[in-house]
Structure 1
Amino acid sequence: MSNEKALFCKLNKPEDVETDSTVGEKHVPVIMVPSVLKTGEFYDVKITVGEIEHPNENEHFIQWVEFYVGNVYLGRFDFAPVMTKPEVTIPIKLGHQGIDTTLRAISRCNLHGLWEGKVQVKTE
């Protein structure tokens, strides 16, 4: 099985990609949020796909991004090729004080499959 087909068959993470390859840099969701959140207050979480801009053409594009707090599914955001940018801002409010929480995003490229990005936040 070619390396590209292998990527399409699993949930890919940054550590799964060879260090000299840019495929991960174009596909792993990047989650931007303060590292400490006050309990009960809304914060904007910005998710972009890739540290390097991903192609956005009919033949190769990001189809969607799903967003999770831990394993709790919060939503899915679909993108069309050419006319949209794989980027979304979501307001969230966390309710448990003093807990480390993992925010996760999973993106799907029509050619390179599923990719996961994570970030830890703390509530106070």
Structure 2
Amino acid sequence: MITTETSQFSRECSAWRDALRSQREKIKEQKKELGLLASNETNPELMAEIGHLDNQFHIQLINIHDLRQAMKKHDQRVNDERKRNGGVLAEETVQHHENLFDDFQRLETTLHGVQQEYAYFIRQARVF
């Protein structure tokens, strides 16, 4: 068992979920922009890239949802353990928190890559 500041764990989970919520909203807006671009596009190469980016956005929205749900469940587990054990968390819970942070960082890196790909595409699409 590990004594730790459980409110810190909750604050971190909340901050991570907020960051993912922001990313989710950004991706939804970009999906709309892609849809508008696709509605007026006839170039097969651009349409293929639009399809690729739309798929990437869809996959990342699923990843965001899944990770946010895992964080929410973990936060509840932390709060339940805190109440049951007087603020003491099991090592497994602390390790799970660290794993969620690693997952969060990996997803942020992936999202950044997709955002760069989207920005590059938008710049290229304006050339056509």
Q: Which has the higher strand share?
A: 1
- Interval of TM-score (by shorter of Structure 1 and Structure 2): under 0.3
TM-score by length of 2: 0.25
* Bigger RCO (CA 8 Å, 6+ sep): 2
Structure with the greater alpha carbon radius of gyration:
2
TM-score by length of 1: 0.25
